[in-house]
Amino acid sequence: MFKKILIANRGEIACRVIKSARKMGIKTVAVYSEADRDALHVEMADEAVFIGPPAAAESYLLIEKIVEACKATGAEAVHPGYGFLSEREAFPRALEAAGIVFIGPNPGAIAAMGDKIESKKAAAKANVSTVPGYLGVIEDEKHAVKIADEIGYPVMIKASAGGGGKGMRIAHSTSEVAEGFNLAKAEAKSSFGDDRVFIEKFIVDPRHIEIQVLGDKHGNVIYLGERECSIQRRNQKVIEEAPSPLLDETTRRKMGEQAVALAKAVNYDSAGTVEFVAGQDKSFYFLEMNTRLQVEHPVTELVTGVDLVEQMIRVAAGEKLQLAQKDVTLTGWAVESRVYAEDPFRNFLPSIGRLVKYRPPAESKSDNITVRNDTGVQEGGEISIYYDPMIAKLVTHAPSRAAAIEAQSHALDAFYIDGIRHNIPFLSALMSHPRWREGNLSTGFIAEEFPKGFAARAPEGEVARRIAAVAAAVDSIYGERKRQISGQLIGRPVTRAGRRAVWLEREEVLLDIARDGDGATVAYIGADGKAGNAHRVVSSWKPGVPVWDGTIDGDHVAMQVRPMASGIRIAHQGYEVAVNVFTEAEAAAARLMPVGVKADTGKKLLCPMPGLVVSIAVTEGQDVKIGETLAVVEAMKMQNVLRAERDGTVKKIHAAAGATLAVDTLILEFA
């Protein structure tokens, strides 16, 4: 077994590999760019080597820098993680030439399967069912349009060397093919250094299901069940689960055996994933093979009990698989949410900055529920513009799908982040969505259920009552604390009761509250002015703690609590709402206050995220129609098209291609 390995990656996957290596008694070496000098993976590793500037093309993507780091530290092997160099055939060949072991598949398997075009050709040769498409070289956008017309719409334009949703576009018309072709090529070039793309038929109402395979260097290959990855946004996976609610045992076996046959055909000898697009009728087609560890591997680990990173290391060291296919069993259900640094209320635009507070839910493992948080950040760390916006992967495991979802929902409510915007409100909303809970999924789920994007919603019904009850309890504690500080409670029992008007923004909930110890009794007031049934709210929450964790009538509830100048902001199950708790006299005065009106910024195009201006598509004096492209801004390896939200005439352009802009910087204005 290796004594020391180097991880040629960063962030959460580098931290994840370090954990397994540490468990195996193997020392680790981290590499880092200037932007990652204070990163968590650097802190966790036994040694760390600086490899260059923040841009990946000048640091993490330079093979010679990784080889030099191995030689300098005596690392015997390299784990590539995912992304960066993980699927570059040249990387393991360079390591081999230097006498260093690659913890991943052999270069031949990467060459056969890592390239999306070549993998489809290999699959077709092996009689694997594949999606109709064009795998040759596409000369230009006119050629792309011709191909798409022949295949029939909609089509998918995909980067040949791609992954992670980068360099992918769905097109429903010739104009979308022309635009999508150029954007996909640009993203592919930026992210992977390879601008080749291919086009294939986009299956309507599909599901994305993938099979985890594991092979060794002795000809053994097994499959470890499937993962459902259908909840996607812009082809980027958002939520994954294992197993899939679609598959039965027969279909699972067919997909698994096909994945193994394909892996054996290319002498696959590590952890890898064979991805399929599946119809609602359980039909399936080969999509691609990822010759690396997948982002979503934790859900497989939790349902199988197999540490995939450990297995990759053992296989790379020449050991035989200790598992046979008959030994693989799936136990319970696992759900993973990807926590991203992006603002769901602003069309999921990237958010960068410092993590002023980072308080994930506590990791735990019991007989029934497991909570796991794979992360590469820590409080006080910086979210950079240079890399993928992932903050963490929150994973829960339970005996049933319903229980795993419930555990995930509660864990998201207890996940507190301040300093940047993040997608936890959106993830929480998904967890409580009826269609998600029913398992009625497709890759179009988010687009269909949130056609206008994700907007702030006013809580109603039971959720509104829960938020109001907790807000009243929190306000009561604040009130007691103030009176203790001022000396008003000396010699008096700590109790507080009375009628309260709780405002969720401008929606009012009336209730009576009486506190005692760690609990409070709450009764909601009906339209007739009479109190209804009493509810018991219990928590040991204290001012300054960011998450209120307790019970309401015995049911476990968590809410994120942020103090404001005149109240508190509460986040719960996808709702974020400003809450004021008034006495009856205060409420009477508040009702007389005018409602503020936001200024109209409709005549200005502001940069929605920190980023690089790739292009300005209009000129001063030009008339534009709603939906027309105004500019393209690149941030976190994604190109974002900014379109006109109304008809108008361009009055003045304030930014030029190549400029790096801060959030809300003026790009152009309309007459």
| Spatial separation of the C-alpha atoms in residues 104 and 590, rounded to whole Å | 64
| Spatial separation of the C-alpha atoms in residues 393 and 13, rounded to whole Å | 10
Sheet order of strands, 155-159 included: 133-134, 197-201, 155-159, 168-171
455: number of Cβ within 10 Å: 8
Which is nearest to 263 in space by CA: 224, 318, 314? 224
| Tokens 């009012």 found at | 508
Q: Beta strand pairing status for 666-670 and 638-643?
A: unpaired
Tokens of 575: 């709702």
Backbone angles phi, psi at 559, to 5 degrees: -140, 145
Which is nearest to 427 in space by CA: 458, 466, 400, 394? 394
| Spatial separation of the C-alpha atoms in residues 467 and 504, rounded to whole Å | 8
**DSSP letters along 428-445, please?**
HHHHT-HHHHHT---TTH
| Spatial separation of the C-alpha atoms in residues 531 and 314, rounded to whole Å | 65
Q: Beta strand pairing status for 207-215 and 197-201?
A: unpaired
3-state class (DSSP) for residue 408: helix
Amino acid (1-letter code) at residue 3? K
| Spatial separation of the C-alpha atoms in residues 488 and 564, rounded to whole Å | 24
Amino acid (1-letter code) at residue 228? E
Which residues have CB under 8 Å from 216's CB, separation 6+? 269, 315, 319, 320, 321
Secondary-structure breakdown of the chain: helix, strand, coil percentages, each rounded to the nearest 5: 30, 35, 40
141 assigned to active site: no
Greatest CA separation for the chain:
85
Q: What is the dihedral of CA 117, 118, 120, 122, to 10 degrees?
A: 170
Which is nearest to 90 in space by CA: 424, 431, 534, 80? 80
**How big is the chain by its Cα radius of gyration, in Å?**
27
| Tokens 């991805």 found at | 275
Tokens of 384: 């950079």
Amino acid (1-letter code) at residue 650? V
Long-range contacts: 186-190, Cβ < 8 Å, 24+? 186/614, 186/639, 187/159, 187/637, 187/638, 187/639, 188/159, 188/160, 188/161, 188/162, 190/634, 190/637, 190/639
End-to-end Cα spacing for the chain: 69
Contact 375, 392 (CB under 8 A): yes
| Spatial separation of the C-alpha atoms in residues 553 and 409, rounded to whole Å | 18
| Tokens 């603002």 found at | 343
3-state class (DSSP) for residue 442: coil
Q: Which of 241, 288, 301, 576 is catalytic?
A: 288
Tokens of 71: 């030689």
| Spatial separation of the C-alpha atoms in residues 65 and 48, rounded to whole Å | 13
Tokens of 14: 């580098």
3-state class (DSSP) for residue 400: coil
| Spatial separation of the C-alpha atoms in residues 423 and 491, rounded to whole Å | 47
Q: Which residues are designated catalytic? A: 288
